[in-house]
Amino acid sequence: MITITCDVCKKKMDDQNKALFPYGNHSICEPCKDIFEIQVKDNVRKKDPFEFEWYRKLMLDTLDKAVQKGKF
């Protein structure tokens, strides 16, 4: 059995239940992904004009910080 671990909350999941979403170099579980998307969305709403490169960096930065802290 393959065990996968969420990079943020460190919750372990087996291959029967692999709701892990890859972002950049990290994989995160579904509850973490929901929080992550809300955080990114809040920032995107404040950004005008929208730039794709900025957005890509925002996602990776937000995720890197969350991985370091162990939560979003």
State the nearest-atom distance from the C-beta of 53 to Zn ion, in Å.
Answer: 27
Q: Identity (one letter) of the amino acid at 67?
A: V
Given 20, 27, 32, 36, the residue binding Zn ion (CB under 5 A):
32
Given 4, 9, 35, 44, the residue binding Zn ion (CB under 5 A):
9
Given 1, 12, 24, 29, the residue binding Zn ion (CB under 5 A):
29
CB distance 29 to 19 below 8 Å: yes
How many Å apart are CA 42 and CA 31, to the nearest integer? 17
With binding defined as CB under 5 A, does residue 8 bind Zn ion? yes
Cα 65 off chain centre by: 10
